[in-house]
Structures are given as C-alpha cells and as structure tokens.
Chain A
Amino acid sequence: MTLSVTCRSGSAGVGFALTVGCVLFGAVRSWGAPLATPESCAVLRRHGQQAEAQSCYESLTHSPRADLRAEGYWGLQEFKDANEQFQAATAGPDAQAAVRVRYGMLLHERFNDVDSVALFQEALQRDPRNAQAYLGLAEVSAGGFDGKAAEYALKALSLDPKLSEAHELLAGLALENNDTEHAVSEADAALAIAPDAMDVMALRGAVELLADRSPDAWFAKMHAVNASYGQGYALVARQLEMHYRYEDAIGYYRKAVEADPKLWSAHSALGIDLMRIGQEDEPRRELELSYNNGYKDRATVNSLRLLDSYKSFVTYKDEVTTLKLRREEADLLRPYFDAELHRAVATYQKKYGMTLPGPVQLEVYPDHEDFAVRTMGMPGLGALGVTFGEVVAMDSPSGRRPGDFNWGATLWHEMSHVYILTMTKHRVPRWFTEGLAVHEESAATGRPEWANRLTPEVVAAIRDKKLLPIETLDRGFVSPEYPAQVVVSYWQAGSICDFIGNKYGEAKLLAIAKAFGAVKTTPQVVKEELGLSTADFDTQYKTWLNAKVGTTVANFDAWRTRLKGLVELEKAKNYEAVLKEGEAVRALYPEYVGEANAYEFLAEAHLAKEDKKAAAAVLMAYAQAGGESPATLKKLASLQEESGDTKAAAATLDRINFIYPVHDEDLHRRLGALWLAQGNFPGAIRESAAVVAMKPLDKAGAEFNLAQAYYASGDKAKAEETVLLALEAAPGFRPAQKLLLELEKPGTSSDSKDKK
C-alpha cells in the first residue's frame, strides 16, 4: 500500500483535527506533521519515542475509519474503545480480511484466544493467502503448545517470505525445543528482514544465556534501538522459564519491569515465577499491580485466587522439608506424605550424592484447578505434579478419581526433578530430566509395580514408528505433533533411561546428568558418556526396545480385536469362555491394566466358578503389572485375607494408600486391624489415626480402634486419652468400656505409670 498521499486539513488551525478529507489509504496527517499510520506509530514506539508515539496513536483515534480509530485506541492501551471500533470495522460483510486479522491480534493480546482464532479463520475465508492470519494462528498455537505453531508460521512465510515475525516465532519455538542451531538461523533470517527487531535480538541474547555465554552484545544492540524496551527482557525470561531456570527468569522479569515499569504482563509473570519458588508477599504485590492496571489474563486472576486460598492450607516445616496441605485433609494425609517425602529425600541424597541447599517444599492441592494454576502457560502434561526448583506442587489424591493416579509415584518423580535441576543448575534437556524422573518411579523407590506403563497409545506409537530420535525428543514434550505425543514422549524418555540404566548401570545416568550440567548438548553427552553417535544410540535403543516390547507391539491389533470379544463374553457371563479367551488376551498384552483388562475379567470368571485361589493369583498378577484400581486391589486383599495370607492382604491394602488414601474409611480400618493383629503397631496406629482424621460418623469406633493400637504398642497414656474420646462419643460402647477399665486397673493406668 502506498502511503505517500497528500492530505488536506479539513479544519484550519486545529492541530490533529484531520478527520475530514485527509484520511486516505489508512493514513492520517496532522497539520505539518508526518503521515500517521499504525505502522509509523509502531515504529515510533519501538524506537522509544513514547511521546511521539502517543501523539501518533492519538491522531489515529480521530480517523473517520473505524479500523484506524481502533488501532489508535489500541496503541493508547484503551482496549475497550479499540474493541468497539474493531467491532464496528468488522461489522459489515465487506470488512477486509486484514482488519479481521488485526482485531484477532488485539483479542489475542487481551487473552481471548477463542475469538481471535475465529477472526483469523474468517480472514482466511475471505483471503486464503493472508499471511498475517496464519501468523496469528501460529501465535495462538505457540501459547497453547498444541504443536501446530510451526506449521502455521511456515505457511505464513510461504505466503510472505518477508514476514520477519514468522521467522522470529520459529526461532522461539526452536529454542524452546533446544534446537539452538535452528533458532539462530531463524533469528538471523528475521534480523535480515527487520534489522531493528528487538524481540529477535532478545532471542539471540537468550541463546547465549542458555549456553552460559554473555548475552551483553545482543542486549547492547537492543538498547541501541530502544533503551527502555522491557519486553525484550521478558522474552528472555520466558525462554529461561521454558528451560526450568526460574530463578534466572525472575532476574530477567525484574530487568523487564525496571526498563518498562508499565509492562504489566511482565509484572504478572514475575509474580507467578516468584510464587513458583515458594514466595507469597512479593508475588501478591506484583500480581495485584498487574491486575489493577488492567492485565487480567487467566494466569494473573487464577494466581491471585490461589494466593487467597493459601489461608486454607496448613504448613508443616522441619529442617529438610516444608509440607503444605489443605487444612481439611492435612491430618489424614500428613503421615503419608511426610514419610514418603523424607524417604525420597534420603534416597536421592544417597543415590545422587548431593544434599539440597535448603528445605524442599511440597504443596498438595485437592482442587485440581488450584494445581492447574501452577502449571498454566507451561508445556508438557503438567497434570499430576510440577517442580519449580525446590518447590514441588502436585495434585492431592482427593483431586482425582480413585485409581486415576499414584501420588506416591508422582512425588518421587517430582523429587527426582528437584535433585537433577539443582545438580545441573537447571541446565538439562527436558527429555533427560523427565525420562530420569519416570525411571526413578520404580528404580529409586524399589517398587517395580510403579514402573513406566506401556499404555495403548504408547504401543500404537511404537507400532506406527512415531518414537522420536533422542536428539529431537524434546519436541515431543513442547511441540507435540499428535494428541498423545506428550504421553508417548514421557514413556520414551523413561524407557531410554531404563535402557541406559540397564546397559551401562545406574551410575551412568548420574554421569549423564552431570554432563548436562556442564552445558553439553545431547549429541555431545551421548558421545562422551556412552561412546555413541545419537544415530547409533537410537539404533541400539530400538533393538533393546524391540526385544522388550516387540511382541506386545506385534500383538496389538489382535489384542484389540480379541479384547472386544472378551468383553462380550463377560457380558454374557460365559465364564468358561472368559477363562479360556481371557488368558489368551492377557498373554497378547500382559502390560495392559487399564479399563476392561483381561486380569479383572479372569478374576471375575474364577470367582463365578468359586475358584478363589485362581482369582487371587490373577489379581496378584494384575497388581504386579501395575494395576491400580482401588476396588480391584481391595478385592485381592479380601481374597488374600480369606485364604489366611493376612500379610499379603495388608501389603495389598497398603498399596492403595499410595493411590487413593482418601474417602475410604474401610481401607484404613481394615489395614489397621490387620497390622494390629500382626503386631505392626506403628502401622496400626497410623491407619487407625487415618480413620479418626476422616471425621467418621462412627467416631467412637474409630477412636476405640486407635486406643487399642496405642494400648498394644504400650502407649497407655495415649490409649487412655483416645478411649475417653471414644466413650465421650458413645458412653455405652462396651469394648471401649472394657479397655477403659483395663487401663484404670491399679498399677496399669497412665497416671500411675507416670507417677512411677
């Protein structure tokens, strides 16, 4: 579009009143001033000429064209007016595609991606070759980690090879994926088109920082264009976040708001990162500042809500750990989480040969939405737990359906991150830290049933040859190309670490972590530590994998077909056939323990045939294969108990404690009774106390069971205290009365014991 159009004043003597007759082809001129266009205003702002930029945008608001008024208001950050003007501009059927794109960009900036995508798509319907619309779609996709951002950006470049923003976006994506070389080439391509593109300079600075080199040369270039450009530092901070370097990110967000105190998005991001490392006061100040200045994206609003909800949490601290639990479930969960957290710390301390510099903080969220705030804007599953330096946030078992996840395995997974991120100073690729954490779920815990689970989507990915080479595995986490790729990538990374541990020993994994800590790339580390090129490593890994799961993968299609038949046989209660076909289905894919698995069908058929022994055996195999349905495990425990194997029954019930220790008084009551009978008094006390903590209707029964456990353990003072609570609730409770009389016998009571 040519903008060299002479403009006449419609009203002499009025400075910016060029609203009549002087606006042609998207330009506005104030009397004697240069032509004002959205682009020229943006250039002024980019170069730090704030007053001139402000005047420029102001002049646009007087345009007779709604789209230009919208641009003006947008530049002045008067978003409501900008929105209204864009609505007017796009109301008619003839509205240009370009205007819709700009409106979409505004909505994207103002946190409304749903409508912004709709506008980009409408623009493409009108103009299928609109590169800016594809760029808009790419930006939205990049924020949502849906894996399509690169595709859209490349499409935009194919339509407009000089679209520097598309190169810039591709550079950012490549850097997120640890593909530094590609990031640099895309950044350079962007700079060749737009030499003053400060965001690209910032990205180049981030490349240097991530490689532990000085970014100063790039920041100097940025300063030369605009000394108060805070957004550049914010972009650097974002890349540091993406590489787990939260403390460093905080430093750069601080620089961002120092350079541009009105950069509210950076204030918000700073607040969120400060929250991530366990702070509360400063994050609240930053987030409120951001919110009060109109920056009300979901992350800001939800983070403030989460800060408000902290008053419902209880914090337990010791020298090594800080445990944060929601008040209503704290009494119940604390013994389990506390013990497991300390066990994890002790184990990793020994295994990794290092001590954490300070206490590790574990936050447990019963409301998944609260936890989700912690992971907002981050790639990966983020569905169960997340680690920020020495702060771990995770779902509480009560935040999920029974059997949906194993909080114990999640805790050990996240704790591995805490050590590895600390050890490497956060210089570790995503595939390795995630893979090692998955590996440790069984390796460090010594619980083979918590091992990496070969789920159907993983089997399908192996069958379809969708596993990624080790060198590009990070992309599977950050830029998934198909819906299950994140899950598959976790599994693949875990199995790579299993392979390394298996072939080279566990110590090799530690050596690899240290090598990454020395800022080496994956090819360098594989070469130096394993003596292989990445291609050779991939070949060896595939051979190992094929030996391990090749049969299951080959059987996968047959398994699916025959499982459907098995379900029908079970529905028809044809138990003879279920027993026969069930064994075959199980053999085809023995790792499958999800919904409608052969183990449970077989157990039901055995029970229908009154063969409890066989049912117990098949359910034991289910548990060993990693089956985690609490109801099924309880069924197994009952069968074990009936057969007299009370030790196995207790062990089975105790497994459920790592899966769903909430909302199940029966579990704790049964386990407490079993352990009491077996003489495991600390265990019996813990389980009976768990029932009490659940505030059961049967308070008297629960307190009495606890009193019995204390009594058996020899703690008569606590036994008396507890039995009184039982009788206070139900004075006529005969067993409790008997215990009280026993405790009050001369020479037996806690008082007389104390006096002695």
Chain B
Amino acid sequence: MKTLLLALCVLFGSAKVWGAVYYVTVAGLGGEPDYEQRFTAAARDLDKSFKAAGSSAHVTTLTGKDASRARLTEVLGTVAREAKSEDDFVLVLIGHGTFDGAEYKFNLVGPDVTATELAGMCDRIAARRQLVVNTTSASGGSVMMLRRPGRGVIAATKSGTEKNATVFARYWVEAMQDPAADVDKSDSVSALEAYQYADRKTSGFYESQKRLATEHAVFEDTGRGEPVRAASGSEGALLSNFTILRIGASQKAANDPARQQLLAKKEELEQKIDVLKYGKAAMDPSDYKKQLTAALVELAQIQQELDK
C-alpha cells in the first residue's frame, strides 16, 4: 500500500507545473454573535495566510453580509473565467451546514447554497486540481455531491448526521500558521498535511475536554470512492501532492536552470532514501543506518550548494 501511494505521489509530482492558486474562503451565517465572530475571524486568518503565499495567490474572502449566495456565485464565476487548467483552486467553507438526508446546504446570508449547486459552480472552473474544504457541521453530507476526479474534498464530519458545530475549522486555520504542519519540511503545506494536522488537533480537543467527539473529519480525493478518515491506497495521493501553502524558496530553486543538475542529483538521492526507508524492515539495522547516513549527508551537502 505504501509503495503504491509513493508511486502515485511520484507520478503526481513529476507532472507538477507551478501555476497560480485561486483561494476562495467563505465564512457563512453564524446565527449568533459568538459564531459570527468565530467564523469571520477564521476566514480572516486564512485570508492573511493565503495572501502571504506570494504573487501567484489570488485570494477572495467572503464574510459578514458579503457571504451570500449571489456573491459566492459571482466570485466563483470570476475564478471560472480566470483560472487556467494548470492552476489550482481552493474553496474553504466555514460556518454551519445542514443535511436533510438527501441534500447538504451551506448556510449563507439570504438563501443557502446546496452541495449540488456548489459542485456545479466548481465544475465550471478550469483548474484541473481543485480542493474543497468544507468545515461546517453536517459537511460529510456534501462529499458525494462535490467529489470529482482531480478534486479533493475534505469535510469536518463523516456524514450529514454529525450536526453539532465543529472545531475543525479552527485547526485548519492553525495548520496554515504552524510550521509544525509542514511534516516533511518541504517548505510547503500540502492538503494532506493540513488535513492530518487539523484532524489530529480536533481529536485532541475532544479528548482533552473529555467530551464525546461529535465530528470526525473525512476526505475523498479519487473522485470515485467513499470518504475515508486516513490516507490509504489511492486515497490521499491527490491531497498529499496538493500544495495549499508555499512557505519557502522551493519554487524559486525549481525554476533556476543553473541548478538543474544539482536538483536532478537531489531528486535521485531523495528517491534512494525513499527506497531505503521502505526496505528498512528487511535490512540489517547497522547497514541501514550506514547507507541512510551516507545518503542523507550527501543530500544535505547538495542542499547546501543549492542554498548558496
């Protein structure tokens, strides 16, 4: 399974072309001042993080009265007109959601928007790689409507029946701010890293409060499967390769032709390390350590050269 996931990651990675990223964040209707404040604050924090990502980020954030179906339709229409197939698109929904057994609705100022309507709006966007992060209550009820090949869908709840207000959004925002979310230290946060971070923090919240968890985040990123809680097999491949936030100079290095040779060597070493790691169980521990140390030292030296 691990090997398959690795292979898929490599496949997605080799096809990667750096494009623009379109971020749309919506803080839906709070209903009460406390929720209103919380949703708006989360959306604003995301707005700040996304805008800090660089010039390739196109960020739109809808809060307060702006968070209406009309404005959302308008904004997604704009993205549909501007985004190219090599661009990425990220939609984050924060707030309350409902599910009546058949249809999910995201609560907005004025008329709500259904998951079917949202899917339709997203389908008109050319970006081949899309991510919808639905952090609302009952958001699990939206996954099947929103899923599509090339689109990862993350929901704060496993089904439409988990109806209590969620805390997932809080930790999704935190994932964009906490360097610890960048687990592989690649100077970027992938959708999978952010999902795992937020999911773990959400579980920790309920555990520390000694409360029964009323939300269990899920994702679906094959466009064909059922939502899952954790990466396994082909589930998770798109998310692990979907960079939400770039926090370092990795893009710059990749585009510098003078460093192509070093980058090729670096990639070769990274693959060697991956192969070593996956063969670890079958290796003599001292031999593994010796080979790993040698490869890591060499990789570090190359990185040093690249950073000069």
CA A10 to CA B185, docked complex, whole Å: 94
Q: Which of A696-726 contact B (CB under 8 A)?
A: 696-701, 724
CA A734 to CA B297, docked complex, whole Å: 11
CA A669 to CA B193, docked complex, whole Å: 19
Please determine whether A741 and B180 come into contact, CB atoms closer than 8 angstroms: no
Q: Which of A710-748 contact B (CB under 8 A)?
A: 724, 727-734, 736-738, 740-741, 744
The answer to whether the Cβ of A663 comes within 8 Å of any Cβ in the partner chain is: yes
* With A697-B197, A728-B292: A744-B181 Cβ-Cβ less than 8 Å: no
Please determine whether B210 and A400 come into contact, CB atoms closer than 8 angstroms: yes
The answer to whether the Cβ of B179 comes within 8 Å of any Cβ in the partner chain is: yes
Please determine whether A741 and B289 come into contact, CB atoms closer than 8 angstroms: no
The answer to whether the Cβ of B100 comes within 8 Å of any Cβ in the partner chain is: no
The answer to whether the Cβ of A548 comes within 8 Å of any Cβ in the partner chain is: no
CA A60 to CA B131, docked complex, whole Å: 77
Minimal beta-carbon separation of B258 from chain A (angstroms)? 20
Please determine whether B185 and A724 come into contact, CB atoms closer than 8 angstroms: no
Q: Which of A402, A701, A728, A732 contacts B277 (CB 8 A)?
A: A728
The answer to whether the Cβ of A401 comes within 8 Å of any Cβ in the partner chain is: yes
Please determine whether A737 and B299 come into contact, CB atoms closer than 8 angstroms: yes
Q: Which of B183, B269, B277 contacts A700 (CB 8 A)?
A: B183
* With A740-B300, A741-B300, A744-B297: A401-B184 Cβ-Cβ less than 8 Å: no
- Chain B interface size, as a band, is 20 to 34
Secondary structure of the B contact surface, majority rule: helix
The answer to whether the Cβ of A449 comes within 8 Å of any Cβ in the partner chain is: no
Q: Which of B184, B210, B300, B301 contacts A729 (CB 8 A)?
A: B184
Residue in A closest to B203 when the chains form the complex, CB atoms: A663
Residue in A closest to B295 when the chains form the complex, CB atoms: A731
CA A701 to CA B179, docked complex, whole Å: 9
The answer to whether the Cβ of B56 comes within 8 Å of any Cβ in the partner chain is: no
Q: Which of B178-201 contact A (CB under 8 A)?
A: 179-186, 193, 196-197, 200
A650-682 CB mask vs B (1 if < 8 Å, else 0) is 000000000010111100010000000000000
The answer to whether the Cβ of B13 comes within 8 Å of any Cβ in the partner chain is: no
Chain B residue numbers with a CB within 8 Å of A738 are 300, 304
CA A665 to CA B178, docked complex, whole Å: 12
Chain A residue numbers with a CB within 8 Å of B32 are none
Q: Which of B100-137 contact A (CB under 8 A)?
A: none
Chain B residue numbers with a CB within 8 Å of A736 are 185
Chain B residue numbers with a CB within 8 Å of A700 are 183-185
Q: How many A-B residue pairs have CB under 8 A?
A: 85
Chain B residue numbers with a CB within 8 Å of A398 are 207
B205-224 CB mask vs A (1 if < 8 Å, else 0) is 00111100000000000000
Minimal beta-carbon separation of A601 from chain B (angstroms)? 18
B157-174 CB mask vs A (1 if < 8 Å, else 0) is 000000000000000000
CA A663 to CA B184, docked complex, whole Å: 22
Residue in B closest to A401 when the chains form the complex, CB atoms: B210
Chain B residue numbers with a CB within 8 Å of A740 are 293, 296-297, 300
Q: Which of B181, B183, B270, B304 contacts A699 (CB 8 A)?
A: B183
Please determine whether B185 and A730 come into contact, CB atoms closer than 8 angstroms: yes
Q: Which of B180, B207, B277, B289 contacts A698 (CB 8 A)?
A: B180
Residue in A closest to B296 when the chains form the complex, CB atoms: A727
Please determine whether A737 and B300 come into contact, CB atoms closer than 8 angstroms: yes
Minimal beta-carbon separation of A568 from chain B (angstroms)? 16
Minimal beta-carbon separation of B269 from chain A (angstroms)? 8
CA A738 to CA B296, docked complex, whole Å: 11
Chain A residue numbers with a CB within 8 Å of B210 are 400-401
Please determine whether A697 and B196 come into contact, CB atoms closer than 8 angstroms: yes
CA A700 to CA B200, docked complex, whole Å: 17
CA A400 to CA B207, docked complex, whole Å: 9
Please determine whether B208 and A402 come into contact, CB atoms closer than 8 angstroms: yes
Minimal beta-carbon separation of A296 from chain B (angstroms)? 28
Chain B residue numbers with a CB within 8 Å of A663 are 204, 207-208
Q: Which of B183, B196, B292 contacts A724 (CB 8 A)?
A: B292
Chain B residue numbers with a CB within 8 Å of A724 are 289, 292-293, 296
CA A665 to CA B180, docked complex, whole Å: 10
Minimal beta-carbon separation of A702 from chain B (angstroms)? 8
Please determine whether A697 and B200 come into contact, CB atoms closer than 8 angstroms: yes
Chain B residue numbers with a CB within 8 Å of A698 are 179-183
* With A402-B208, A724-B293: A729-B303 Cβ-Cβ less than 8 Å: no
Minimal beta-carbon separation of B82 from chain A (angstroms)? 33
The answer to whether the Cβ of B228 comes within 8 Å of any Cβ in the partner chain is: no
Chain B residue numbers with a CB within 8 Å of A660 are 208
The answer to whether the Cβ of B273 comes within 8 Å of any Cβ in the partner chain is: yes
Chain A residue numbers with a CB within 8 Å of B299 are 731-732, 737
Minimal beta-carbon separation of B244 from chain A (angstroms)? 15
CA A663 to CA B203, docked complex, whole Å: 10
Please determine whether B301 and A732 come into contact, CB atoms closer than 8 angstroms: no
Q: Which of B185, B196, B301 contacts A701 (CB 8 A)?
A: B185
Minimal beta-carbon separation of A59 from chain B (angstroms)? 54
* Apart from the given pairs A728-B277, A731-B295, 19 other A-B contacts in the complex at a CB distance below 8 Å: A398-B207, A402-B208, A663-B207, A663-B208, A669-B180, A697-B197, A698-B181, A700-B183, A701-B179, A701-B185, A724-B292, A728-B292, A729-B183, A730-B184, A731-B296, A732-B303, A734-B307, A737-B299, A741-B304
**Shortest Cβ-Cβ A-B pairs, 9 listed:** A737-B300, A733-B185, A730-B185, A698-B180, A730-B184, A663-B208, A727-B296, A731-B273, A401-B210
Interchain residue pairs with CB less than 8 A apart (28): A400-B210, A663-B208, A664-B208, A665-B180, A697-B181, A697-B183, A697-B200, A698-B179, A700-B185, A701-B185, A724-B292, A728-B296, A729-B183, A729-B184, A730-B183, A730-B184, A730-B185, A731-B269, A732-B185, A732-B186, A732-B303, A734-B307, A736-B185, A737-B300, A737-B304, A740-B293, A740-B297, A741-B304
